[in-house]
Every structure is written in C-alpha cells, then in structure tokens.
A and B are shown apart, each in its own frame.
Chain A
Amino acid sequence: MSGTELTLTPEVVEAPLSTAPPTWVARFDGWTERLGEYLNPILVKECRQALKSRQFVLTFALVLVCGWLWSIVGIAWLGPGVYYRFDGPEMFYGYYIILAFPLIVVVPYSAFRSLAQEREDRTFELVSITTLRPRQVIAGKLASAIVQMLVYLSAISPCLTFTYMLRGIDVMTIVFVLLYLTAGSIGLSIVALFGAAVSRERYWQMLSSLGLALGLFFLFTGSCGLAFQVLRMQAIQVDDPDFWMANAAGLTAYLSYGALLYLAAAAQLTFPTDNRSTPLRVCMLVQQLLAIGWMGFGVWYAEMDGRSVPLAMPVINLVIASTVHWYVMGTFLTGESPQLSRRVMRQLPRSFLGRAFLTWFNPGPGTGYVFAVANLCGVVLLSYSVLALVSTDAMMPPFFGVTWEDLARFGIITVGYAAFYLGLGKLLFQAMRRTSPVTMAGALLVQALLLLAGAGIPLVVQWMSDYQDTVYSAAHITNPIWTIRLAVGPMGGGALVDWPIVWGVAGGGLAVFCLNLPSVIQELRNVRVAQPARVAAEEAEERARISPTVVVPRNPWDEGGETR
C-alpha cells in the first residue's frame, strides 16, 4: 500500500516532510520528487484529485468496512470449525465479490466519467492544447485507474492472507484469480476510455454511459459466477502445461486488443489532420500475425505431444475469428475520409517498393478496403500453408471430416463475403458523403444494416411464401453467417454448400471489388507533398539539438587524439 500512496502524492512530500530532519526522509523525499517529475502529468493531477474526491474515499471506506465485516461474519459463522475445516475458498469468494465490484464496475466507470467529465467541464480543451500527446492523456487516465485499483487491492490484501491461512485454497489460485480480476479491470478501463473518447456529443455520452454501466454490472455478476466455478472446480492448475499455453495465448489476445483500443482511443483525441489510421493498421496487422503464429504453434505443439486433434479445426476457427476481426476493422477503415490532409501527404511513401507495400497503411477508405480484404486473404493462404506444412501425410485426410476441398470452399466464401460487404458499404459511404460527412458510428450502423438486410430479406421472403420450415437454398446466398456455417459443416461434418454458390459469392465479391477500384486508384494517385520550409527548418533545428555536433575530421588521422 505504501508504494502506491507515495507515488501518487508528491505534494504531500513538499509540505510536511520537508521540516523533518532525518536524512533518510530527505533522501526518500528527493527520490519521490524525482520520480514525480517523470510521472505522467495526468496521473499526478488525477491522484491529487482522487484523494480528495468523495467518491473515492467512500468506495475505499466501503471496501474496507465490507472486508472487515465479512471477516467477522465469516469467523462467527465458521465458529470453532476454523481450526480444522478447510474454509479458505468460501471466505475467499466473499472477498472476491467485495473486491470485484470496485474493480469491475467502479474503476472502469470512473475512468469513463473522468474523461467524459473533462469534456463537459470543458477542461479537456485546455488539456488538449497543451503539448501533452493524446496517448499520454489516455495513458495517464489509465494509470490513475490502475492506482485506484491497487489501492482497493491493498485494502483487501490482509483479508486475502487470512483466507490462505484458513487452508483449502492455494497461493496460486489466489494469485491467479486476482491477476485475472486486475487484468479484467484494466481491460475494461481501456474499453471505457475508448467509449468516452468516441462519444463526443452529449446524447452519445449519455447513451454510452448508460450502456457501459449496464454492461459493467452484467460483467460483474458474470465474473462472480465464473470465479465461483473456478474455485469450485479448482481450475487453476499450474502444473499443467496447457494451463500456461492457454494463459499465454489469452495474454497475447488481451495485450494486442488492449493496444489496439488504446491507440484507437488516442486517435480519437488527436487533431483532425493528424494521421489517425496508420498506427492502428500496423497494430491490426501485428495482431493478425500473432494469431497465425499462435495457431501454427498450437497445431505443432499438439502434434509434438502426440495428441490427436482435428487439425482443421484450429484453422477454421482462426479464419472465422479473422473474418470477424477484419470485417469490423474494415468497417472502420472504409468509413475513413478519402481526403488526405496535407500533413498526411507529407509522409506518403515515395520509393517504388514503399508505394507498392506501404501505401495500404495510409489513411483512406480505398486503401483500408484493400488492406482489410488482402489481410483476410493472407490469413487464409498463410494458415492453409501452415496446415499443409505441419500436418503429416498420415493425418492429412480427412481432418476428422473436413477435406481440403471443404477448406477451399470455406476460404473462398469468407474472402468473397468480406470483399462484397465491405466494398458495398464503402460504395454507400461514398454516396452518403456527397451530402454529409460519415462518422465512425454511422459507418458501423450502415454496415450492420447491410448485413441485416443481406441475412434478413431472404428469410422474410421465405417465411412469407408457403415453406413451413426454413431450409438453406441458393436464395440465401446473401446471408454470410448461414452460408459460412454451412460451408464448414456442423462441427466439421462436411460442406453443405455447393460450388455454384461458392462461385456466386466469389463473383459477387470480385464484382464489388472492381467497382471500388476507381476510387482506390484515385487514392493511390496521391503523392507526397513537400514540407513547408518553416517546418523543415524547425525539424533541422531539433535534429541539431539532439546531436549537436557532427564531428568532421580535419585530416585523415584527426580522430580525437586522446590516445598517445
């Protein structure tokens, strides 16, 4: 507890301690002050504010009181049994609930409020015109959420030690449950900050505030149920290598999506002519590569272990997850504005290779569309190659029911649908933009409606005709979810989609792709513009300040002359 307290109150150090004579205090004083210098300014400010805020003090007191009450009630209830029964899990579960409420509901929600409030109070404008970068703002808000989290954790930590002494629960279970809880809390705080960054207008803010509160409460109850299961089934098995594998894979997904949301939230806070897209695209690509890497590793690992897993399943799951990933990301990317700011145009790639490969990272709906579709295509090809490489001949056919032909159909269909729907959405945004600007939320809405229409209209038509039960037919070709599910077959039971439908989807995707080509080419025509002289001059000055002197030798032997 002391560690967290000290970093968050540099001003405490300034006032009362400075009169204290002992040298270690002075040294400590200097140390915390130096540390305070390099802390995020937002963190420093928020901690000063939080310590004085009623909400924080109240929650903290409540956590403490609840913790002690539960301890007393628990001991009274256990009675003398405390000496011989293993009541650790029951007690721990109580503390978990006491801790989970602030961590899952209060901390993320107050992270959301702290950013939303700044918008309402108009203090955010004042912060945004300082030289603080948007990422620092988000990081500062997140860090102060983490500090709050740590304070709650430390409030309850004596109780947790107590549960360990009651026996029946091991250290690792305690540690891991708390780790998951903390990680969940941090993740939710990032989501909350993203939500606050996105919702600018008041009505959006109200809406997202309400949605967040409900969602967090729902997650809180869910997490309590989950924790109960974990404790009852003793699911934390640190001796099991699979446990660590699953954790590492989960951590990868968690970190990569956390980074993506963090970057996206920061992109929402930056000025409009800044390049908001490229860092996100890089992040998406890295994420995809990590996913493929994990898939390959998982398949290889299972085979090394001599386990007979249906090898096609991880690949199919990966492709489905990637389709969802690129579909959602593609929606945002195709919703971007086609006008590049002069600032972005200053950094466009110039070389042939750069233009061929890096152009797709530039902001713009056309490049975004190609980027999303090409990436999905890449995932399919790459994961199929991994599968072909890893699977030994003996295991090749039939992948527990899935053949290479099924995989081929499945791959073509997913890419085809992505090209079709994202491209259609992009054409629609293009038309809409003639009358009014397209926002991110608008893009998401249009895509959702498109998908709903594609899936819903054939269903409605079918219901209105005399068919009694719903069966799949060629009319449902616009329903991507159903078609893809059937292409994989129920649990890999073989494909139920015929080639004509596959070609139909592919043709539709290709046609829409071609319709989009003119606007894509238009975007590719953008070339780098020169930096204004004033900017170039200042950049040169900055560079000179970083490495002040470039030593120019006066003669071939003039290299310093220190050694004689």
Chain B
Amino acid sequence: MVASHPMIELRHLHRYFGRTRAVNDITFTVRRGQVFGYIGPNGAGKTTSMRILATLDTPTSGDALVDGFSVVDDPDRVRRRLGFMPDYFGVDPNVNVREYLDFFARAYGMRGSERKRALSYVMDFTQLEGLATKPIQGLSKGMKQRLCLGRTMIHDPGVLILDEPAAGLDPRARIQLREMIRRLASDGKTILISSHILTELAEMCDLVGIIEQGRMLAVGTVHEIQHGHSGKQRQSWVRVRVLGGGQALANWASERGDVQEILVDGENVSFAHTGDVESEADLLRGMVQANFRVASFASQTKSLEEVFMQVTEGLVQ
C-alpha cells in the first residue's frame, strides 16, 4: 500500500525564541522510504525544527505533519509512528543496556513476546548484544549512539528523526551507522537526518536541504545541489599532466574562452573549466590533436564543502 500523503511535511514552520528566529518559514516534504539530509551550520535551526517534529516543542506558527497527522493537534498519534534520536543522551542512573531498551519497549506499550522479539531484533541490529548487562553510565560515546538509535527504533516507527547521529563517532562507526541507515531506508522507513557535513550525508540521502538562520536555502538531490545550484554554469577543476613540461599547454589553453585560473607546476597544469562533460571531452581531444602528450586528465566538480560554503554565508543570529 502506498500512502498518498508524504510521511513528513513541514508547512511554513516558524519558531521564534524572543527575537531569535530559530526556524523561519520552512516548508518541505519527505515521501515514504526517502532519506532526507538536513544540513546547516551551528545555530541554523536544525535541532529546533526536529524537536517540533518530534512533538517536544510547539511552533510559533505553521504546522508539521507526520504521516498526515499534525504534531500540534495530534501529537499522541504522531508519537506512535515516530522515533526521535536527540543530539544528547539522557542517562538513567543504575540501568543497564537491556533494561534501558526494555523500559522503552514497555513505554511504547509492547507486551510479552512482542517486546522480547523487538528487544532482540534491536540489540542485534545495533550490535549491542555483547553489552546487554553493561550499565549505561559506563558506555562510550559510540556505544551510546548505537543504544540511542536502538531506543529510537524499538517500537518500529515508520519515521525516524535523527539529530546528528554521527557526531563523535570514529570512521568505522560512521560507516556502520551509514550501513544501518541504508538498511532502515530499504525497510521502507522515512528518515530525516541532520549533520553539519554535507559529504557525510551525500552517500545516503535521497534529498538534501541546506538550512541557515532558520531558512531553507536549497532543497534537492545531492546532484542537483552540487551542480544546478543557483542557475550558474557548471564549473569544474581540471588537472592535467603533460609529459615534457606544462608551459606550452598553459599557453595553448589560455587562448580558449572556457579556461581560467591556469596554474603551472612543472608537468602539472591545473585550471578551472566552465562547461558540461561534453565540452570537457572536447577539450581533451583538442589537447591530444594539438600533439600534447597528455599522461593524465582529471576533472573534479566543486566539492560539497565548497557548495556548502557558497550557499551558506556563515551568518549566526
């Protein structure tokens, strides 16, 4: 069954704290099974809008819907189908990993064998089985993140809201987390995940939204964000290695209109090239036809960091 409504929908969401406009007119939708990456610098309003979605805060105006239910009017219905992983970890003293998850399973109304199944599934999924009897005060950051994710999915919610789940994880744990999120998405979960780092999300998100100062600056697929952003022409950075010295190539290239910022470093020449992949291929053919001995030709689109820096302005309110 395919639901006709989006699983997550923000409608002109506003949230002010005094004069700070933490969330300022944000609108977007996420469909079932999509992973939406929410990216922005510190203080952009990511946590604030996620907390509203998780029914922990109420918007100043506007509304947010989860599976068609308003977080303002029907938070009880939203809670049943939503898992929220905050950017902090609330530690209960004197509780071990299994008891912690068991409590939340009970709190979501799971009884008997249903709860046992959910518990063992989640412990297996997050690889917490070896830690079942470990007191949670004694967990490391990465273990806590996994436990937190486990708690978020204990009641098998259709929508997961994850606030910077990768913060403080080592590279291996990051990859594991990415794997987990991919698996969740392939199970049909709708996921909203936030981060400061665009590259981190690029590989697992279907959609990315860049937010700053409470405003959504750009929404689209990673590809769209990277290339088609703000209607400018695609620009790539080309590095060429020419055997026998690069100066001649630099001279040749400087006569073309689509090449700027030429740098020569021995056999290596690099320059900015404006145009699509087709014109890049033509450029290479031209070099070869002009009898340059091209040993390597590498084109790099602007890195995601650069896009991010360009889109956001580093403004903090």
Known: A49-B93, A534-B69. A126 touches B86 (CB 8 A): yes
Contact A131 B79 (CB under 8 A): yes
In the bound complex, residues from chain A placing their C-beta under 8 Å from that of B86 are: 122, 125-126
Task: Judge whether A121 and B73 touch: CB under 8 Å.
Answer: no
Q: How far is the CA of A272 from the CA of B93 in the complex (A)?
A: 29
Residue interface mask A336-349, B partner, CB < 8 A = 1: 00000111000000
* Bound form: Cα–Cα A124–B94 in Å: 16
Partner of B104, one of A49, A130, A342, A535: A130
State whether A121 and B70 are in contact (beta carbons under 8 Å apart), knowing that A45-B99, A130-B79, A132-B107 are contacts in the complex: no
Q: Is B74's CB within 8 Å of the partner chain A? A: yes
- Counting CB contacts under 8 A, is A5 at the interface? no
| Cβ-defined contact, A127 with B70, below 8 A | no
Chain B nearest CB, measured from A126 CB (Å): 5
CA distance A42 to B103 in the complex (A): 8
A-contacting 9-mer, from B51-59, B193-201, B264-272, B292-300: B51-59
> Could you tell me if B91 and A123 are in contact, using CB atoms closer than 8 angstroms?
yes
B95 contacts partner chain A, Cβ-Cβ < 8 Å = yes
Instruction: Say whether A535 contacts B94, CB under 8 Å.
Output: no
Most chain A Cβ neighbours within 10 Å, of B73, B92, B93, B109? B73
Contact-size category for B: 35 or more
> Contacts A125-B90, A126-B86 given: A41-B103 contact, CB under 8 Å?
yes
B-chain residues with CB within 8 Å of residue A44 when the two chains form the complex = 103, 106
Q: Is the CB of A126 within 8 A of B72?
A: no
From A49, which residue of chain B is reached at the shortest CB distance?
B94
Contact, CB under 8 Å: A534 / B68: yes
A473 located at the interface, meaning its Cβ lies under 8 Å from any Cβ of chain B in the complex: no
- With A341-B73, A534-B69, A535-B69 already in contact, the answer to whether A129 and B92 are too (CB < 8 A) is no
Complex contact A49–B92 (CB within 8 A):
yes
A273 within 8 A of B: yes
Chain A residues near B79 (CB-CB < 8 A): 129-131
Distance from B83 Cβ to chain A, minimum over Cβ atoms (Å): 9
In the docked arrangement, what's the CA distance between A534 and B9, Å? 14
Q: Is B141 an interface residue (CB 8 A)?
A: no
A485 within 8 A of B: no
Given A129-B55, A132-B107: A11 and B99 interface contact (C-beta under 8 Å)? yes
B90 nearest in chain A by CB position:
A123
B70 with A532: CB separation less than 8 A:
yes
The residue in chain A whose Cβ has the minimal distance to the Cβ of B95 is A49
Residues of chain B with a CB closer than 8 A to A122's CB: 86, 88, 90
Residues of A contacting B95 in the complex (Cβ-Cβ under 8 angstroms): 45, 48-49
B68, closest chain A residue (CB): A534
Say yes or no: A273-B72 contact (C-beta < 8 A), given A45-B99, A126-B151, A130-B108: yes
Contact B112 A37, beta carbon cutoff 8 Å: yes
In the assembled complex, the CB of A358 is this many whole angstroms from the nearest CB of chain B, namely 21
Chain A residue with Cβ nearest B70:
A532
Among B75, B106, B155, which residue has the most Cβ atoms of chain A within 10 A?
Answer: B106
- Beyond A41-B107, A128-B56, is A48–B94 a contact (Cβ under 8 Å)? yes
B80 at the interface (CB under 8 A from A): yes
B5 lies within 8 A of chain A by Cβ: yes
From 128 to 148 in chain A, residues with beta carbon under 8 angstroms from any chain B beta carbon are 128-132
A562 part of interface (Cβ distance < 8 Å): no
A121 touches B107 (CB 8 A): no
Q: Could you give, for residues 43-86 of chain A, a 1 whenever the CB lies within 8 Å of some chain B CB and a 0 otherwise? A: 01100110011000000000000000000000000000000000
- B76 interface contact, C-beta 8 A: yes
Q: Is B36 an interface residue (CB 8 A)?
A: no
Identify the B interface with A (CB < 8 A): 5, 54-56, 58, 68-70, 72-77, 79-80, 82, 84, 86, 88, 90-95, 99, 103-104, 106-109, 111-112, 151, 155
A: residues with CB less than 8 A from B are 11, 37-38, 41-42, 44-45, 48-49, 52-53, 121-132, 271-273, 341-343, 532, 534-535, 538
Residue contacts A-B, CB under 8 angstroms, 19 given: A38-B111, A45-B92, A49-B93, A121-B90, A122-B90, A125-B56, A126-B90, A128-B56, A129-B55, A129-B56, A130-B108, A131-B80, A131-B107, A271-B55, A341-B72, A532-B68, A532-B69, A532-B73, A534-B5
